[in-house]
Structure 1
């Protein structure tokens, strides 16, 4: 029975890791045509050509990081502070229900609705416009995520600090932020991933001018450039893997 479990476990690991291994293999290959079992070339040629070439993968990776970090930081911080007022508001139910509004529509439809207003204010097809559009999606998620943090226990802590002479700034910096540090890290990771893998909204608001890494993946697939597509997928996987490691190493272990 133990041998069977070991075989099943290894089969499970292989099934999970095979797509990532194949993407890496494909990104290092060229001239791989049927019926050849192995590519004619296997090496770093594709990766070397990325730097300074017209493919713009390096730039797409950089601009994706800038957009995702901007969205994650602003959504996490604003979501934490504003969720307090939503949770303690007398119309909490109504306000919470309104936070789900951006998720009612598909991202492409939602982007089409926003495009008119973004065009009028001059941020349509710009990096700033993509950041704001993605923030509109990530911010409600942060509000919903932090809604469980604000409860009677936290309110009692706030009242205690106030009774001892602490002001609002002291309450947030010395009590609330340290208590919510783990949750804020998790929310930052989640909103970063929401922005990192966003395609529909980015393609509409960015209108092809803001080519994030996710946009590049689909462009290469449409062009049947599977080698560059696999390479961009490998780059797309790097930040989530790093975040998973950080989450397990510095957040999850402390929470348990």
Structure 2
């Protein structure tokens, strides 16, 4: 790369970073702004109401944040457990109706949740799952499974099953093949799928509100009323916590998976 191309590349990268950080900077400014009327460039009056409310140890914000993280981690684990065999079947094996099933897997993210939410709610009431933690976990699987299955399907299409077949020829049983061959190979896909699934679950509002019935209170449900009412200071404070909590969990998930495979002396992409 010559000097001219290097300067152009550096300019493009810095511009992209600027556009990514600018909205975050605006959120930080709004979280301390009691008054910021148009067309003033800077806030006219500052305050700590939003930050103090979010960080108050006597409030419910941090407790609900930890609850939401736990809920989304459970959804992520269940989604990956279901997605791995489903994705392997779609990515490796050949059978009639395979393309149709691939399309149907994406149906939950194509059909609006409002269209199916009431039916699911009625079914969950009959099953005793409405207003419960288990019910919320199950309903979060609906928008999360398409992402998990689709990402891992692409991974299995790339890696195939030749390595697994070689392991079986050498005498490995199904469990040994899965833990020592399959999991290390799909580790990058697990990180990608798990990260996306966690974000989708953590940001769910409508399905959580409908199935949880206000008894299962998540962080997004606490944040949404402030956004809807136009309280920009509170909404911005919640948004900052939301962003950094999500980013922190994703970083820890990635490091945990990589650390596990390093200790096992596995090689992954």
Alignment TM-score, normalising by the size of structure 2: 0.78
Deviation at 1:239, TM superposition (A): 3.3
1:230 aligns to 2:236 (yes or no): yes
1:177 aligns to 2:183 (yes or no): yes
2:207 to 201, 209, 217: 201
Deviation at 1:170, TM superposition (A): 0.9
Mapped partners of 1:169, 1:227: distance in 2: 52
Which residue of structure 2 lines up, in the alignment, with residue 105 of structure 1? 111
1:90 aligns to 2:95 (yes or no): yes
- Gap change, CA 1:226 and 1:166, over 3 Å in 2: same
2:218 to 200, 212, 217: 212
2:71 to 67, 71, 90: 67
Q: Do the aligned residues in 2 keep the contact of 1:108 with 1:204 (CA within 8 Å)?
A: no
Deviation at 1:39, TM superposition (A): 4.6
Q: Do the aligned residues in 1 keep the contact of 2:227 with 2:235 (CA within 8 Å)?
A: yes
Which residue of structure 1 lines up, in the alignment, with residue 170 of structure 2? 164
Q: Do the aligned residues in 1 keep the contact of 2:31 with 2:236 (CA within 8 Å)?
A: yes
What does the per-residue CA deviation read over 1:73-128, in whole Å, with 9 as the maximum and x for residues that have no partner? 11112211332234425233343233123223102222222111111112212232
Mapped partners of 1:96, 1:62: distance in 2: 35
1:28 aligns to 2:32 (yes or no): yes
Q: Do the aligned residues in 2 keep the contact of 1:107 with 1:201 (CA within 8 Å)?
A: yes
- Gap change, CA 1:52 and 1:166, over 3 Å in 2: same
Q: Do the aligned residues in 2 keep the contact of 1:102 with 1:110 (CA within 8 Å)?
A: no
Mapped partners of 1:166, 1:8: distance in 2: 50
Q: Do the aligned residues in 1 keep the contact of 2:68 with 2:202 (CA within 8 Å)?
A: yes
The DSSP-based 3-state class of the residue aligned with 1:124 is: coil
1:117 aligns to 2:123 (yes or no): yes
Mapped partners of 1:237, 1:207: distance in 2: 25
The DSSP-based 3-state class of the residue aligned with 2:111 is: coil
Mapped partners of 2:82, 2:124: distance in 1: 22
Mapped partners of 1:150, 1:206: distance in 2: 35
Alignment TM-score, normalising by the size of structure 1: 0.81
Mapped partners of 1:53, 1:223: distance in 2: 24
The DSSP-based 3-state class of the residue aligned with 1:148 is: helix
Greater CA deviation, 94-103 or 176-185?
94-103
- Gap change, CA 1:179 and 1:118, over 3 Å in 2: same
Mapped partners of 2:138, 2:19: distance in 1: 38
